[in-house]
C-alpha cells in the first residue's frame, strides 16, 4: 500500500468517520492493524496489551541498532457532536475527532509505512495509544508492562496538532510544552432544613459560595505570577428547591500548572483551605484530587535541543518556537518515565481544539510525515543516547 498524499488523506477521513471514546477504540484498532498489515512485514513485530485490547505496539527492527526510538500516537476521540458539514463526518452519534487524533494516526501510519520499506538503522517502537482524552491511557500501558524488553524505548517522541500554526508547520520549545492537570472534585455535606429555620440547618449553598471565594485566592495569593497557574471551577451543584436549605453541594474543577511543583502547591492549598472552611462552618468537606497521567509535558533538554536545531536548520521544514500552553496531555507521564520530546504540528486556522466545528487542513499531513521521517533518520546518525 502506497502512502502518498491522496492515500493519507483518505486514511485520515476513514478514521474521522469512526471516532471512539477512551478504551472503546475497537473499530479504530482494527483499521490501524488492517492498514499496517498491508505494509511489508519484513522488519515488523507486533505487541498487544491484554488489559488494553485497543492498544497496539509495532516494533520496526533496525539494521544496526544503537538505541530504540519510541513514537507515540493517541487514537481516541471526544464526546462531541460534530457540526462541520463534511461529507466524511462522524458516523458515531455524539462522538467526534474534535482534537485531531485522526490526523495523529494518519501521520504515524505514514511514518511507519516509510520505515517498513526503508529499514531504519535503529529500532523503532510505534505506540498507538488509547485513552489520552480520559482514563490516562499512558499510565495504564506503562503499568501493564507494555514498554519492556525489545519494546522499551530509550527516547520517546510524539506530536499534537494545533490550529495556532499554519498547516504543516512544526512547533516546539525547550522546557514545558503543555501544562499538567488535576481534576478537582469537592463534596460539602451539612444538614438540610426548612428555609424559614436556618438556625436548625447547615447551609451548603453558603458554604459552597464561601469556599469557592477562598479557593480563588490560591492563584492570586499563593502562586508566583511569573510562573503562572490556573484553578477553574466549571461545575457547581447544590439544592433541590427554593425553600429548602441544601445539605449537600458539589464543586468540580481543574488545576493547570507548568511544573509538577506548582500543581502540588495548588493541590496542598486546596486541602488546607477546605479543612479550614469545614472547621469554620461546621460541615464535612471531602476533597478528591485526581491527576492520573496528566503530568506537565516537560521536554528533555538534550533531545529537544537536537530536535529544534534539526527542524530550524532544515530548508524544507517550516519551524516556529512556541510558548507553553495550559492544555493537558498524558504524554507528560511518558516523558516522566523516558527522555523525549513533544512538538506541535500546525493544521491551519480553524475552530479551537475540542470544538464541534474543528476542521483541520489536510495539507498538514504530508509535511508532518516528511519532517518526522527526516528527523528520525538524522537522529539515527547521531551517537548513542548517553552521548546526546
Alpha carbon distance 299, 268 (integer Å): 26
| Contact criterion met (CB below 8 Å) for 70 and 155 | yes
Determine the Cα–Cα distance for residues 307 and 177; give it in Å rounded to an integer: 14
Comparing CA positions, the residue from 336, 342, 341 lying closest to residue 388 is 341
Catalytic residue among 74, 122, 155, 161: 74
Is residue 133 flagged as an active site residue?
A: yes
Asked if 314 and 371 count as a contact pair (C-beta separation under 8 A), the reply is yes
Report whether 151 contacts 72 (CB < 8 A): no
> Residues at the annotated binding site?
99, 101, 133, 160, 354
* Burial class of residue 254, CB neighbours in 10 A (0-12, 13-18, 19+): middle
The structural domains of the chain, with segments of one domain joined by +, span 5-177+296-387, 180-290
List C-alpha distances in Å: 113 to 152, 157, 170.
21, 17, 21
Is residue 74 annotated as a catalytic residue, yes or no? yes
| pLDDT value at residue 228 | 84
CATH number for domain 5-177+296-387, candidates 3.40.630.10, 3.40.1160.10, 3.40.109.10, 3.30.1360.230:
3.40.630.10
pLDDT score of 384:
52
Q: Within 10 A of 326 (CB to CB), how many other CB atoms are there?
A: 16
In the predicted model, is pLDDT for residue 386 greater than 60?
A: no
Pairing assessment for the beta strands 170-172 and 319-321 based on DSSP bridges:
parallel
pLDDT for residue 4: 83
Burial of 226 (0-12, 13-18, 19+ CB in 10 A): exposed
DSSP letter string, 107-150: HHHHHHHHHHHS--SSEEEEEEES-SSSS-HHHHHHHTT-S-GG
pLDDT of residue 325: 96
Residue 158, C-alpha cell as written in the block: 510524539
Q: Report the CATH number of the 180-290 domain.
A: 3.30.70.360
Summarised one tens digit per residue, pLDDT across range 222-272 is 999 888 899 999 999 999 999 999 999 999 999 999 999 999 999 999 999
User: Any idea how long the chain is?
Assistant: 388
Binding annotation for Mn(2+) = 99, 101, 133, 160, 354
Q: Which among 20, 76, 122, 133 is annotated as catalytic? A: 133
Mean pLDDT computed over 315-341: 97
pLDDT digits (tens, 9 = 90+) for 31-69: 999 999 999 999 999 999 999 999 999 999 999 999 999
Amino acid at each position: 500500500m502506497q502512502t502518498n498524499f491522496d492515500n493519507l488523506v483518505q486514511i485520515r477521513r476513514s478514521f474521522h468517520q469512526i471516532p471512539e471514546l477512551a478504551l472503546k477504540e475497537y473499530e479504530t484498532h482494527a483499521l490501524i492493524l488492517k492498514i499496517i498489515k498491508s505494509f511489508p512485514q519484513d522488519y515488523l513485530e507486533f505487541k498487544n496489551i491484554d488489559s488494553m485490547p485497543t492498544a497496539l505496539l509495532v516494533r520496526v527492527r533496525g539494521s544496526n541498532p544503537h538505541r530504540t526510538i519510541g513514537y507515540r500516537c493517541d487514537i481516541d476521540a471526544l464526546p462531541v457532536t460534530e457540526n462541520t458539514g463534511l461529507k466524511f463526518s462522524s458516523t458515531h452519534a455524539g462522538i467526534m475527532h474534535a482534537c485531531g487524533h485522526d490526523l495523529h494516526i494518519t501521520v504515524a501510519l505514514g511514518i511507519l509505512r516509510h520505515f517498513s520499506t526503508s529499514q531504519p538503522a535503529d529500532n523503532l517502537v510505534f505506540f498507538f495509544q488509547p485513552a489520552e482524552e480520559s482514563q490516562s491511557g499512558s499510565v495504564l500501558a506503562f503499568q501493564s508492562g507494555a514498554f519492556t524488553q525489545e519494546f522499551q524505548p530509550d527516547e520517546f517522541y510524539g506530536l499534537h496538532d494545533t490550529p495556532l500554526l499554519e498547516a504543516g508547520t512544526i512547533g516546539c520549545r525547550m522546557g514545558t510544552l503543555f501544562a499538567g492537570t488535576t481534576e478537582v472534585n469537592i463534596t460539602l455535606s451539612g444538614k438540610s432544613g426548612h428555609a424559614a429555620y436556618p438556625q436548625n440547618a447547615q447551609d451548603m449553598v453558603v458554604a459552597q459560595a464561601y469556599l469557592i471565594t477562598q479557593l480563588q485566592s490560591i492563584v492570586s495569593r499563593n502562586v508566583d505570577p511569573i510562573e503562572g497557574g490556573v484553578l477553574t471551577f466549571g461545575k457547581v451543584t447544590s439544592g433541590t428547591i427554593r425553600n429548602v436549605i441544601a445539605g449537600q453541594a458539589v464543586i468540580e474543577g481543574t488545576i493547570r500548572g507548568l511544573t509538577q511543583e506548582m500543581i502540588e502547591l495548588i493541590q496542598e492549598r486546596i486541602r488546607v483551605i477546605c479543612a479550614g472552611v469545614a472547621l469554620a462552618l461546621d460541615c464535612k468537606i471531602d476533597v478528591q484530587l485526581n491527576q492520573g497521567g496528566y503530568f506537565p509535558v516537560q521536554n528533555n533538554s538534550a533531545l529537544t535541543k537536537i530536535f529544534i536545531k534539526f527542524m530550524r536548520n532544515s530548508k524544507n521544514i517550516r519551524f516556529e518556537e512556541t510558548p507553553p500552553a495550559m492544555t493537558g496531555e498524558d504524554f507528560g507521564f511518558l516523558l516522566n518515565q523516558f527522555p523525549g520530546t513533544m512538538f506541535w504540528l500546525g493544521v491551519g486556522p480553524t475552530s479551537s481544539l475540542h470544538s464541534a466545528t474543528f476542521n483541520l487542513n489536510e495539507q498538514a499531513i504530508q509535511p508532518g510525515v516528511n519532517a518526522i521521517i527526516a528527523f528520525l533518520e538524522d537522529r539515527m546518525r547521531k551517537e548513542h543516547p548517553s552521548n546526546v
